[in-house]
Amino acid sequence: MVSIIIAILVFGIIIIVHEFGHFIAAKKSGVRVNEFAIGMGPKLLSKQHGETKYSLRLLPIGGFCSMEGEDQSSDDDRAFCRKSVIKRIIIVAAGALMNLILGFIFIVIMNSMADTYASTTISWFEENAASQQSGLQVGDRVVNVNGMHIFTDTDFAYQLQSDKDGVFDMTVIRDGEKKNLKDIEFTMSKPDKDKSTSSLHIDFKVEPIERSFKSIVSQSWRRSISYARLIWISLGDLLTGQYKINDLSGPVGIVSAISGVVSNETTETGVNWLELFQNLFSMAALISINVGIFNLLPLPALDGGRLIFLIVEGIRKKPVSPEKEGVVHFIGLALLMMLMLYVTFNDVIKLIN
């Protein structure tokens, strides 16, 4: 039960920060905010403070910042639709930007808990290591694997483990010079009874990076970029069919995953608090960055869809009819809600199974 509460709290913080980005940008731009809501569906609590109603709603699957003149015409001088294109772009993009910043902050907190970080510089090889025999050397800093730039050890491990033949083209920094290495080989283990595919054996270790203010900031920035790129790769895999729609997770699946992280670090002998918080902040960062990127997709009802309309308006110097734009976003929202219901249903089935 505690793990579920923590999971809902983490997800709630991510949603609140997103909507607060829209809220504060709107207020600073002189836009009237009619309602600031956390959650969707029927109201549980609400309080009017000044011109804005603050509400908590039943379903913890999102939230909204309702602005005057957002989806319809308005004669109010403080209406969203009467502000300049630049101000409206800032307001619409602010939510996603806040999620990206929050993700970075989560990673900074996570990295502040570690004494050292894994680098991408080779420090040691096993005896008769295949990768050493095919060209890698101690001291090589790997910066590219099979055309993918390597920001962190996570990128390095991802590229190695996602390969099928165990042969790679790498770019390394060796003695201050960039070198391109072809056909770096690794030993592939034979599949066992429980697995249908073989796995790659990593036959080296990497140098540690000592914790300092500079390394915390540097590693956090690199990991943020790494997470963002991983999300884009996953979206591409979804579009190309490598992932199925059943692999998607909604709020229920996210809460379940977060609570799983909490449960995994809780044993009969107690709680491994350090690993718990590190894993929790890592997952929270990934989710927050994911929410930020997903909302920037150019789809109706999402912030990215609204940005497309604003960019078109900026180019043609003439706004699209708010009513027509509202209809497009309404249809997009309806389709999005249908997708959310489907994904949520699948999440519940996975929980039951």
Catalytic residues: 19
Q: Mind giving me the DSSP string for 234-276?
A: HHHHHHTTSS-GGG---HHHHHHHHHHHHHHTEETTEE-HHHH
* CA–CA dist 352, 75 (Å, integer): 51
Reading the block at residue 250, the tokens are 């909604």
- DSSP classification of residue 80: G
**The residue type at 188:** M
Q: H-helix or E-strand containing 1?
A: none
* CA–CA dist 67, 93 (Å, integer): 15
* CA–CA dist 258, 261 (Å, integer): 5
The three-class DSSP label of residue 95 is helix
Q: How crowded is residue 205: how many other Cβ atoms within 10 Å of its Cβ?
A: 13
